[in-house]
Amino acid sequence: MPASTILITGATSGFGEATARRFAAEGWRVIITGRRKERLEVLRKELEGLHGTVEGPPVVHVLHFDVREYDAVVHAIASLPQEWQAIDVLVNNAGLAAGLDPIQDGRLDDWERMLDTNVKGLLHVSRAVIPGMIARAGGHIINIGSTAGKEVYPKGNVYCASKHAVDALTKGMRQDLLPHGIKVTQIAPGLAETEFSVVRFHGDTEKAKTPYQGLTPLRGEDIANLVWFAATLPPHVCINDLVVTPTAQANSNFIVKQ
Ligand code: NDP
Ligand code: 8X3
C-alpha cells in the first residue's frame, strides 16, 4: 500500500514545520507549503535526509504560494504531479495575528491580513483540495483554530473574530462533507511559543516574549503530536474539536503566571 499523503499550509515555521517533521519521520509523504521558498527548500532537504531517499521516490514535495491568492492556490494544487494528487490529510495551519490593539486603534492593514489569511486563505485551500477528496470518497481536514476562537480577550478583537470563523467553518465543513466520508477536525491551541508573537508584534522580538513569561508555553511539537493523533485514529473515529492549553492556562482570559 502506498504511504499516505499530507498537505500542510504554513510549514515554514511553528506548528506547520513541526507537523511536517513528525509526519515525515513516520514515513508519510509530505507536501510542505508557505511563502518563504528558501525555508521550504531547507526543510525539504532535511526531511529527505531522514529517509536517505536521494535515489528513491520523493517523500517531500514543495508548493510555494500565498493562501490569500485564490488563483495561485488553485494553480499550485493543480500543478501537483499525478503521484502527489491524492491528498489524504489537509492541515489548514497557515495563519497569523497582526497587532494587539483596542478596536478603535486597529490598523486596517492588520485586519485585512488576518481576515484574508486566517479565514479566506483557509477557504481557498479547502476549496481547491476538497473536490479531490470527494472524488476519492475520503480524506481528513484538520483546521488549526485557537482558544481565541472560543473566547474573545481584550485587544484580540479581529484575530479572535477570525478564529471564531475557523470554529464555525470547521462545523460547517463537517456537516457538508459528512455524506462524502471526509473527517473534519479542529485543533484549538492556547499560548504556544513559535514565530506567532514576533509576527503579531511586527518583528519586535522583545515584546514578543511577554505573553510567555512566567509560564511554560506549548511548543510546535505538542501540536504536531496532536495532529498525528487525530490523523491516525481508526476510520470510524473523528475528533471534532480538540482544545489544548499550557497547564498554566484555563482559557483565553485565565492564565496563572509565576
Ligand atoms: P508561525 O508564525 O510560527 O507560523 C505561521 C505559518 O503560517 C508560517 O509557516 C507562515 O509561512 C504561514 N503563513 C502566514 N501567512 C501566510 C500566507 N499568507 N500564505 C501562506 N502561508 C502563510 O505561527 P504558528 O505556528 O504559531 O501558527 C500556526 C497557526 O496556529 C496559525 O493559524 C495561528 O493562528 C495558530 N495558532 C497559534 C497559536 C500560538 O500561540 N502560537 C495558538 C493557537 C493557534 P510564510 O510566512 O513562509 O508564508
Ligand atoms: C494564539 C493564542 O491567546 O495568543 O491563537 O490568541 S492567543
**For residues 49 and 199, what is the distance between their CA atoms, to the nearest angstrom?**
30
Provide the edge-to-edge strand list for the sheet that holds 89-92.
60-64, 29-34, 5-8, 89-92, 139-144, 182-189, 241-244
pLDDT tens figures, 148-204: 999 999 999 999 999 999 999 999 999 999 999 999 999 999 999 999 999 999 999
Q: Is the pLDDT of residue 52 over 70?
A: no
Per-residue confidence band for 91, with pLDDT thresholds at 50, 70 and 90: very high
The pTM for the full model equals 0.98
The pLDDT of 210-222, averaged and rounded, is 98
pLDDT at 55: 58
Per-residue confidence band for 53, with pLDDT thresholds at 50, 70 and 90: low
Cα 220 to ligand 2 centroid, rounded to whole Å: 14
CATH architecture group of domain 5-244: 3-Layer(aba) Sandwich (3.40)
Cα 233 to ligand 2 centroid, rounded to whole Å: 27
The pLDDT of 117-124, averaged and rounded, is 99
Q: Which atom of ligand 2 is nearest to the CA of 197?
A: 4
- Which residue type, as a one-letter code, is found at position 88? D
Q: Could you tell me if the CB of 191 is within 6 A of ligand 2?
A: yes
pLDDT tens figures, 32-45: 999 999 999 999 99
Q: Could you tell me if the CB of 162 is within 6 A of ligand 2?
A: no
Percentage of the chain modeled with pLDDT above 90? 95
Cα 144 to ligand 2 centroid, rounded to whole Å: 11
Percentage of the chain modeled with pLDDT above 70? 97
**For residues 161 and 163, what is the distance between their CA atoms, to the nearest angstrom?**
5
Yes or no: say if 17 and 46 are a contact pair by the CB < 8 Å rule. no
Q: Which atom of ligand 1 is nearest to the CA of 66?
A: 19
Mutate to test the pocket of ligand 2, among 144, 159, 209, 257 (most ligand atoms within 8 A of CB): 159
pLDDT at 57: 76
Q: Which atom of ligand 1 is nearest to the CA of 117?
A: 18
Q: Which residues are catalytic?
A: 159
Per-residue confidence band for 1, with pLDDT thresholds at 50, 70 and 90: low
The pLDDT of 246-257, averaged and rounded, is 98
Q: Which ligand is nearest to the CA of 36?
A: 1
pLDDT at 50: 80
pLDDT at 131: 98
Q: Is the pLDDT of residue 92 over 90?
A: yes
pLDDT at 58: 79
Q: Which ligand is nearest to the CA of 144?
A: 1
Q: Could you tell me if the CB of 160 is within 6 A of ligand 2?
A: no
Ligand 1 contacts (CB < 6 A) are: 9-16, 34-36, 66-68, 93-96, 117, 121, 144, 146, 189, 191-192, 194-196, 199
Which helix (H) or strand (E) segment is 226 a member of? Answer: helix 220-231
Sign of CA dihedral 15, 17, 21, 23: positive
DSSP 3-state assignment of 62?
A: strand
The pLDDT of 17-30, averaged and rounded, is 97
DSSP 3-state assignment of 205?
A: helix
Computed over every residue of the chain, the mean pLDDT equals 97
Q: Which atom of ligand 2 is nearest to the CA of 200?
A: 4
* Residue nearest (by alpha carbon) to ligand 1 atom 19: 66
Domain boundaries, the chain: 5-244
The pLDDT of 20-29, averaged and rounded, is 96
Q: Which ligand is nearest to the CA of 253?
A: 2
